[in-house]
């Protein structure tokens, strides 16, 4: 059994979990402010900003569906603040600049109370200035590269220390991996994550010659040459693994080519950060048995909470074969946190809800609770799972407790001295603990 990641990172420098909850409990109920016009409307609008076409539709469509289910369930409970919730669904079509346009429309024209959306980091980066300028609220449900903490974003997906770093630790300690292929789609999430992992591997004594880094465009379809290079790299007599940050529908031909060239998990295991049950549903998974995925939730998790969620999902979607996955759980957590924060604040005013979010805890689907920390990241378990022939992922390792998300990496210069704390009076996303100043280095 490998040693578990720290369940409380240095971001807990001042007892962040206990103090975050305590501080939030002391927040007063805030009166209606800028959101007063919204509250006077017949419904409370909720924005859904996910690609329903293009290369990311394979992953994002199901997130739109689960949000519709959660909104329907909340309306069946009587809505929120005495009003029904109304879903406003838009399709940014895997077009990163279009994400910003759609976000602007949701906030300024549709007057939504909150937005649940984005998958890729480039789409999140595209909308970030819009949410900050219009003081909107975005719940971002997917694992990402860190190096960011915005007052207007709640990161309900995993930070690198809640997924990528523990996955490397598992491969190193449990599988004896010595050579590393860092393969990703060519955009900010894979590049920054791999920058962190490269620094971490070198800190662990891995030489530069034992690290191969490769990037491919979105929608990459021809993997023959790349897989051949991976096989060659793995033939040096050292145990080799692929750490995959490949996103979207490019995963389908990637895994097919692995199977075509006879790359088995026993030879060169692949651990994926962006392949879950939804992506596997479109693949012949039998040749992929034993390859790995690192997430914070799997559909196969055996808890009453997860069983109830799956049952509700199948009833809503009217298809017992539809799977669940990690980003769906992140939306489940984020939506329930938002509802609880709105009820706590007594208003949908953005500023009031943002303040009320810190310290909110709600059940996750793995049998515990997720808490929103002062850095706008949540607590999570980390799970490593093996792909099964039926398209499910069975847990083979997990952290013994919850891990607090690190918004700034411990392994990068310029980041390791930074923290985020959105409570007053600090109210800063990049506070330098050495200089004592907000604003980074």
347, 35 in Cβ contact below 8 A? Answer: yes
DSSP 108-174: IIS--SEEEE--SHHHHHHHHHHHHHHT--EEE-S--------TTEEE-S--GGGTHHHHHHHHHHH
Which H or E element spans position 362? Answer: strand 361-363
Confidence band of 72 (pLDDT split at 50, 70, 90): very high
Residues 102 and 50 in one domain: yes
- Give the residue among 165, 126, 127 at the shortest CA–CA distance from 145: 165
pLDDT number for residue 274 = 86
Query: Does some domain include residue 75?
Result: yes
Q: How does pLDDT run across 75-118, given as a tens digit for each residue?
A: 999 999 999 999 999 999 999 999 999 999 999 999 999 999 99
131, 118 in Cβ contact below 8 A? Answer: no
Q: How far is CA 201 from CA 73, 166, 328, in A?
A: 45, 12, 31
The CATH number given to whatever domain includes residue 223 is: 3.40.50.2300
Residues 353 and 278 in one domain: no
365, 385 in Cβ contact below 8 A? Answer: no
Residues 154 and 120 in one domain: yes
Query: Does some domain include residue 387?
Result: no
- Of the three residues 274, 295, 316, the one that is the final residue of a domain is 295
Residues 333 and 221 in one domain: no
Residues 53 and 185 in one domain: no
Q: How does pLDDT run across 123-166, given as a tens digit for each residue?
A: 999 999 999 999 999 999 999 999 999 999 999 999 999 999 99
Question: What's the CA gap between 403 and 155, in Å, rounded?
Answer: 14
Residues 261 and 349 in one domain: no
Structural domains of the chain, count: 2
Confidence band of 23 (pLDDT split at 50, 70, 90): very low
Residues 178 and 61 in one domain: no
Please give the residue range of the domain that contains residue 178. Answer: 161-295
Residues 171 and 126 in one domain: no
Query: Does some domain include residue 397?
Result: no
* Planar angle of CA 286, 292, 294, nearest 5 degrees: 140
- Mean pLDDT score, 280-297: 87
Beta bridge pairs of residue 184: 215, 245
- Of the three residues 245, 267, 295, the one that is the final residue of a domain is 295
Residues 55 and 150 in one domain: yes
Residues 16 and 138 in one domain: yes
Residues 166 and 56 in one domain: no
- Of the three residues 258, 276, 295, the one that is the final residue of a domain is 295
């Amino acid at each position: 059994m490998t040693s578990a990641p720290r369940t409380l990172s240095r971001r807990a420098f001042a007892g962040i979990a206990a103090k975050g909850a305590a501080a939030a409990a002391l927040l007063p109920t805030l009166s209606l402010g800028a959101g007063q016009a919204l509250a006077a409307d017949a419904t409370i609008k909720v924005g859904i900003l996910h690609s329903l076409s293009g290369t990311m539709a394979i992953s994002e469509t199901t997130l739109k569906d689960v949000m519709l289910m959660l909104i329907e369930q909340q309306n069946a409970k009587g809505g929120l603040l005495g009003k029904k919730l109304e879903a406003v669904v838009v399709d940014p079509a895997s077009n990163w600049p279009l994400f910003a346009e759609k976000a602007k429309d949701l906030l300024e024209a549709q007057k939504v109370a909150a937005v649940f959306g984005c998958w890729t980091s480039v789409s999140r980066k595209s909308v970030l200035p819009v949410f900050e300028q219009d003081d909107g609220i975005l719940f971002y449900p997917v694992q990402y590269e860190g190096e960011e903490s915005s007052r207007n974003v709640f990161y309900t997906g995993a930070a690198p220390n809640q997924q990528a770093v523990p996955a490397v630790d598992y491969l190193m300690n449990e599988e004896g991996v010595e050579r590393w292929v860092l393969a990703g789609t060519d955009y900010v999430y894979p590049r920054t994550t791999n920058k962190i992992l490269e620094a971490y591997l070198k800190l662990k004594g891995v030489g530069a010659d034992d690290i191969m880094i490769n990037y491919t465009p979105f929608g990459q379809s021809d993997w023959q040459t790349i897989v051949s290079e991976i096989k060659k790299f793995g033939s040096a007599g050292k145990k080799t693994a692929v750490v995959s940050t490949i996103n979207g529908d490019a995963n389908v031909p990637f895994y097919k080519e692995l199977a075509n060239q006879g790359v088995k998990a026993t030879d060169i295991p692949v651990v994926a950060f962006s392949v879950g049950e939804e992506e596997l549903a479109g693949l012949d998974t039998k040749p992929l048995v034993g390859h790995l995925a690192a997430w914070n939730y799997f559909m196969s998790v055996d808890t009453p909470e997860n069983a109830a969620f799956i049952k509700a999902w199948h009833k809503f979607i009217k298809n017992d074969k539809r799977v669940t996955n990690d980003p769906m759980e992140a939306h489940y957590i984020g939506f329930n946190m938002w509802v609880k924060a709105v009820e706590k604040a007594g208003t949908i005013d953005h500023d009031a809800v943002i303040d009320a979010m810190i310290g909110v805890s709600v059940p996750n689907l793995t049998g515990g609770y997720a808490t929103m920390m002062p850095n706008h990241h949540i607590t999570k378990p980390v799970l490593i799972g093996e792909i099964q022939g039926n398209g499910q992922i069975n847990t083979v390792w997990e952290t013994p407790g919850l891990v607090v998300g690190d918004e700034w990496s411990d392994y990068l210069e310029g980041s390791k001295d930074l923290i985020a704390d959105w409570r007053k009076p600090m109210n800063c996303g990049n506070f330098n603990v050495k200089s004592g100043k907000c604003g980074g280095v």
